[in-house]
Structure 1
C-alpha cells in the first residue's frame, strides 16, 4: 500500500526533527545554510517547510517568510516553534493560495521534490510565485541518495511512499525554462568511518562536475525567473 506524502509525514512529525541530529545531517545543514545565508533575500517562500527547520538556521523576519507544507502535523510543530511566522497548509503540486510573483526567493530543501509525483507541476508553481528576476534554490535527492547512512525514508518500506531520485540530465530538463541555471552535486557518499564530519567537508564536496555528481546524495539547482 502506498500512502500519501501527507499521511507519511503526519506520522513522522513528532519525531521528525530527531532525524536531523546525527553528525552527517548536522554537518549538511550547516553547509547548506552557510551557502544560503548570502543568497536568501527579500520575501521568501519555503516550499515543503516541514517543522520549520529553515528558521532555526536563517534569521528571517516573520513579514518576509511564508512556509508551505502538505502535512498538517508538521505545520503544527512549525507553528509551535515559530508562532509569529506564516505557515500555509497546501500541496505544492497544486495551486498554492499565494499571489503570482509574490516572492524574491523560493527555497525547497532536503529533497522535497523527490517526494512529489508531479514534479513539473511544482516547477510551474515556482515559476508562478517568483518575481521577475527572483531566485530559487532546490535540493533534489540524487541517484546515490539511498546509499546515505541515514535518511528519512530508512523507516519506510519502499512501497509505502512515492520517492524519486534524479540525475543531472533529468534535473537540467526540468528547470530549463529558467535563467542562469546552475546544478551542483552536494555531499560525499562515503562518510562511513569518517571521524570528524564538518560543514567544511560538506562544502568541499560541492561539485559542478557531472561525473562527480553521480557520487553525491543531493543535486542542488539554482536559477532565476
Structure 2
C-alpha cells in the first residue's frame, strides 16, 4: 500500500517552487496511474516512493513503512526487498550477463544469490533463454523484459514503472502493459505506472489516477522530471 499526506519536494538547485503533491491512498494490490506532462514531477514522485529521494515535507508510508527515518544501507535493503522499479532508463550493467544483473538484487538486499529464483523470474517474462547474454546482445524489448524480471525478482509489495511504453509501437506497448499487470498480480503488488501515453490512459481507464498536471507549481518546475 501507499499512503501520503501533505507530501512535498524541493529541488536543491534552480530556484524552483516546491512540488506539492495531492494525497494518495493506494490499497495493496491496487493500480495507480500517475499522469502528467514532462516536468510535472512524475519521476520525482516515483523516486520518493522508492526511497531514492527524501521528501521536503509531509508523511509517506509505503508497504507499512514510514519513509524518512531510514538511512544508507538500511533504506537500500528495504528498497531491494520491498520495491520493484522499472525505470525509463533500464540501467543494466554492460559488463554482466542477464543472470548476473538480476543477482545484484540479492546483493542490495543482503541476501544470498538464488539462481533458481532468477530462472523463474526470467521465465515469467519469457526470456529465460537469454540468461547468459549481455545487455548489448538484447533487443530493446528483451532488455525491458529483463529489467522487469529484475524488478519482480523478490516478489515486491510495490511495483513502480516509469514511462514503460515510451517509444513502443501499439502492439509492443500493449504487450508491455499486459506483462506489467500480470507481473504485479503474480505477487499481489501495488502497481504504479507513470505515463503521458494516452494508450496507457485508455487501457487503464478504470484505475485510480493521480494527475500531476493539476498540481500547483507546474510552471515553476517545467522541464524537470
TM class, shorter-length: 0.3 to 0.5
After TM superposition, the score normalised by the length of structure 2 is 0.37
Which protein shows a greater Rg? 2
